[in-house]
Chains A and B, each alone.
Chain A
Amino acid sequence: MTVHVTKGSVASLEQLATKIRDFVTDATEHTTDVWELIQDEASPYGIIFKAPAHRVGEYQYIQVMMTRIEKGITYSNWYNNSRECKGYRPVNTSTNTYIVEGPNGGPIDIFARNADTLNFSVNKQYSQGLKFYEQGGKITASNTNPKLLQQVKNRYTSSGWQGFELFYPPAYPLLYYPKLTIDDDHPTDWFSYWLIKDRCTLTVVICVLGIWQSISLGLFNEIDVETYAFPAFVAGGNMGFIGAGYQKYNINAHTPTPISGMCADYSIDVVSVSNGNLLSAGKMSDSDVGVTQFAVMRPDGVWTWFGNYKQWYAVIAGYVPQGYVTNYYFPSTPPERINKYNVVYPNNTDIHELVNLYDTTGKDVKMVIPVSMFANDPSSDYKGVIGFVPNNFMLLGKPIRLGEQLIGDSKYLIIPNGWENRLNFYSYYIGVFPLPVGSKETSDSALLKDKMDKIIEKSHMAYLAIYMGE
């Protein structure tokens, strides 16, 4: 498959979307592999390309959409106004009034900060007038249990406040699309990008302030070429899922009730298994089931998720010496390996003892290993080695440097899982006079503590090598 590459720098994800549009539709560059632009609109509709599928005469629809996430506004607007959320907006009865606790009668925000997000998807169909997340064959998370940040529903009667109930809010529809993100807390004038395209796939890589994000999407090379009708995948980027929470006192309560769930933090350096390249994709989930940044369409047309790690959060009480709980903390727990589910080979197991090729002539000989998908979905009979991700490889051992380099006769773009020497987990300390969550223990002033400093698999990271041609 011929690979076409372009690179450069841009000032925003909005500009990057334009670069993608201009590149993939350039007939001079791609000749017969060119993609056709069939829609070019702003959020919530997006840019849509009609791209060839594996078999002649068949097509796929590649979607790219830039969406701005504003903390306190985006989710609340959607919650209060969209038809999807109708059932979640409290209905007042003759005796009870329900008020959702959040700014302006909206929910507590599930987005942690302001950010630009560039969302990607692959669809079977295209219809004019449908939003990005309404197109036929859209990515859905219907078979997962997202457990988003729980919301508070206060109940009032004529005699006043009667306490509160908790409920899981609906998922914002773009939540489950793999995305590139740049948050407002990491302002930058420009950043580098690479676009790598072949007939059926596109890989987008950005490096913002030394932090790498990459997304590949399109159709993967399925092993069963006869009956696998639509082997679509979208993999990589930053889903930003983290555990979060707050607390609330109920009537006559001495201690607050912890209220927690999953939030989306699109900070480029968010420490979450759902922020990373496709080799280290992971899920914020308290079970093996959950959403990762690696979506794959099963042969039966249902989207499923592949990943190598899972992570959840803990609810930890901070005590004062008198024995009361005054504060709760919601730190992430160390990532664990997913043992029996859909995994991404070859990083599906602890590989920290694997190093570079053995060579006695003093040469630094590198090798890359194709990335494939091992399906083992216990909820269905979907099992097997299903295919390979085009142009994506794992580098054996540690690179001397990041970025473009020659391996054998081919050029590859070597990128880390986020940033160089990233750990899978950073230890934190929670004490009586609480230090900020995430900070290290600094003194023995703590009387009680709950310390979790286990770092799984030390600091080994799998490096992604993206094929850039001969």
Chain B
Amino acid sequence: MAYVKYTGLTTANSILAKMSEYATSAGWTVLADCVDDLDVILRSINDGKRLTLRNPNGTLFAHLRTANGYQIFPKQANGISLLGATQLPTINHNLSGIGLTCSSGFSSINKWYDQDNVPRYKNVNGDGDVIGVGAQTWEGEEHTLYCNVISTPTDMIIFTIQHGDLFQHLVFGNLNKFSTWSGGIVFSGSMNSYNMFANRPIVNPTVPDSLMSPIFSTDYNSNSFLRIDMGDAPNRGNIRWASSGSNVTTDAVCYTGKQLAFPIRTSRSMVADIWTPKIINWGFVQSQAHDDSGINCNTLNCITVDLPLFAAVIVDPDDLREFAPVGIISGFNLVSLYNMSEGSTYEISYPTSGILRQVFPFTALAGEYGYDGISIEQ
């Protein structure tokens, strides 16, 4: 389906309203349509809006929430600990953006993120703090929202928020499974919930976008999460989500207890470390520096090669570190944006195929991830 573009959006709430409008037109059900929501710290003031979407066959619930000066997840850089908090901190206008988490159920009574089987930090008892992803916005400044949907073989919505040269993505949908197993909800964002407000990226080619990660990549910090019920291993708790980063349990990593790996890599996940997944990866073809085109294109005439994006998860027992491929992100490919412009559509198989793809950089062209980006089926 052809993408839709909304321009001139100056607040997180106005972006969220357009997300709702688009999801409705794409056939998704809106369960909470940008309703006022109480703050997550004391539940005392309305500090943002929540949007809950359900995919057409009812298998996935995506929860989005705007931030307008206060944190929206329990654990966030520049936020406070919710435990024992007695008063709201001073409003911080840098804490502006949109958060996302996914679940297999919905309740309008609980906090926006407190839903059935949402991803949580690794915790033996299974009640760690909720994890999600997010994109930062800049109040009063102009943003553009690009919306894409993929309907076959599985559902997926891709929101891309542009601010100047910087592109941030929020994606949720179902994995196209290779085989039979329980789960399948997958979501990703340019930053995880902890890093969402960790710094304020400045928009220029030398941006400190290093705290962002390419969507559906393996990086040190997780920014993609896959629902996959791996059973009850002794002493481990019931882990339902896999996280795409390392297995370190610091807050910024957002480790769920099960590693998820993608072939898209960053320099942080290409090092020979114990946690880095030793599986097929595309580090070799990706940009190696800000100004490197990568080799994911054919030098003869700049044809970009679409490489299908699969996911692999460590299967039990964890100690063996055996990554089993579980499925594929449909309609989504790694591309090199060398000689392509952000947000444009291209006919992807030379010379003519009729297959159009919209392309975006992971963050910014010639930024932390060079010319690496994604192409989205139209």
Chain A 329-370, CB within 8 Å of chain B: the 1/0 string?
A: 000000000000001011011111111111111010101010
B295 touches A349 (CB 8 A): no
Chain B 259-290, CB within 8 Å of chain A: the 1/0 string?
A: 00000000000000000011111011100000
In the complex where A225-B350, A226-B351, A384-B305 touch, is A354 in contact with B179 (Cβ < 8 A)?
no
A385 touches B278 (CB 8 A): no
| Distance between Cα atoms of A357 and B296 in the complex (Å) | 26
Kindly identify, within residues 97 to 130 of chain A, every residue whose CB is under 8 Å from any CB belonging to chain B.
none
What residues of chain A lie closer than 8 Å to B179, measured between beta carbons?
A: 357-359, 361, 363, 365
| Distance between Cα atoms of A226 and B351 in the complex (Å) | 7
- A313 located at the interface, meaning its Cβ lies under 8 Å from any Cβ of chain B in the complex: no
- A386 located at the interface, meaning its Cβ lies under 8 Å from any Cβ of chain B in the complex: yes
In the complex where A353-B322, A358-B324, A374-B295 touch, is A228 in contact with B178 (Cβ < 8 A)?
no
- B312 located at the interface, meaning its Cβ lies under 8 Å from any Cβ of chain A in the complex: yes
What residues of chain B lie closer than 8 Å to A363, measured between beta carbons?
A: 179-180
| Distance between Cα atoms of A225 and B278 in the complex (Å) | 33
- B182 located at the interface, meaning its Cβ lies under 8 Å from any Cβ of chain A in the complex: yes
- A26 located at the interface, meaning its Cβ lies under 8 Å from any Cβ of chain B in the complex: no
In the complex where A360-B180, A385-B296 touch, is A376 in contact with B315 (Cβ < 8 A)?
no
Closest to A340 in B: B284
What residues of chain A lie closer than 8 Å to B281, measured between beta carbons?
A: 349
In the complex where A343-B284, A358-B324 touch, is A384 in contact with B279 (Cβ < 8 A)?
no
- B303 located at the interface, meaning its Cβ lies under 8 Å from any Cβ of chain A in the complex: yes
What residues of chain A lie closer than 8 Å to B322, measured between beta carbons?
A: 353, 355
Main secondary structure of the interface of A (DSSP, over half): loop
What residues of chain A lie closer than 8 Å to B181, measured between beta carbons?
A: 358-360
Closest Cβ of chain A to B67, distance in Å, is 36
- A396 located at the interface, meaning its Cβ lies under 8 Å from any Cβ of chain B in the complex: yes
| Distance between Cα atoms of A352 and B277 in the complex (Å) | 9
Main secondary structure of the interface of B (DSSP, over half): loop
Q: Which of B296, B324, B350 contacts A224 (CB 8 A)?
A: B350
- A299 located at the interface, meaning its Cβ lies under 8 Å from any Cβ of chain B in the complex: yes
| Distance between Cα atoms of A224 and B301 in the complex (Å) | 8
How many chain B residues touch the partner (CB < 8 A)?
35
What residues of chain B lie closer than 8 Å to A346, measured between beta carbons?
A: 280
Kindly identify, within residues 309 to 361 of chain B, every residue whose CB is under 8 Å from any CB belonging to chain A.
312-313, 315, 321-326, 350-351
A351 touches B295 (CB 8 A): no
- A48 located at the interface, meaning its Cβ lies under 8 Å from any Cβ of chain B in the complex: no
B321 touches A349 (CB 8 A): no
B303 touches A354 (CB 8 A): no
In the complex where A353-B323, A365-B179 touch, is A358 in contact with B303 (Cβ < 8 A)?
no
- A382 located at the interface, meaning its Cβ lies under 8 Å from any Cβ of chain B in the complex: yes
- A383 located at the interface, meaning its Cβ lies under 8 Å from any Cβ of chain B in the complex: yes
B301 touches A357 (CB 8 A): no
What residues of chain B lie closer than 8 Å to A367, measured between beta carbons?
A: 178, 325
- B299 located at the interface, meaning its Cβ lies under 8 Å from any Cβ of chain A in the complex: yes
Q: Which of A353, A357, A374, A376 contacts B326 (CB 8 A)?
A: A357
A352 touches B284 (CB 8 A): no
What residues of chain B lie closer than 8 Å to A355, measured between beta carbons?
A: 315, 322-324
- A409 located at the interface, meaning its Cβ lies under 8 Å from any Cβ of chain B in the complex: no
A353 touches B301 (CB 8 A): no
- A410 located at the interface, meaning its Cβ lies under 8 Å from any Cβ of chain B in the complex: no
- A42 located at the interface, meaning its Cβ lies under 8 Å from any Cβ of chain B in the complex: no
- A16 located at the interface, meaning its Cβ lies under 8 Å from any Cβ of chain B in the complex: no
B180 touches A384 (CB 8 A): no
- A444 located at the interface, meaning its Cβ lies under 8 Å from any Cβ of chain B in the complex: no
A354 touches B295 (CB 8 A): no
What residues of chain A lie closer than 8 Å to B298, measured between beta carbons?
A: 223-224, 384-386
Q: Which of B278, B284, B295, B303 contacts A223 (CB 8 A)?
A: B303
- B300 located at the interface, meaning its Cβ lies under 8 Å from any Cβ of chain A in the complex: yes
| Distance between Cα atoms of A383 and B326 in the complex (Å) | 31
Can you offer 14 A-B residue contacts whose CB atoms are under 8 A?
Answer: A223-B303, A226-B301, A349-B283, A353-B277, A353-B321, A353-B323, A358-B228, A358-B326, A359-B179, A360-B180, A376-B284, A384-B305, A385-B295, A385-B305
CB-based closest 7 A-B pairs: A358-B324, A353-B278, A359-B179, A384-B298, A385-B305, A354-B279, A346-B280
- Given contacts A224-B303, A357-B324, 18 further A-B pairs with CB under 8 A are A224-B300, A225-B350, A227-B300, A227-B301, A343-B284, A349-B284, A353-B322, A353-B323, A354-B278, A354-B280, A358-B313, A367-B178, A374-B285, A376-B284, A382-B299, A384-B299, A384-B305, A385-B295
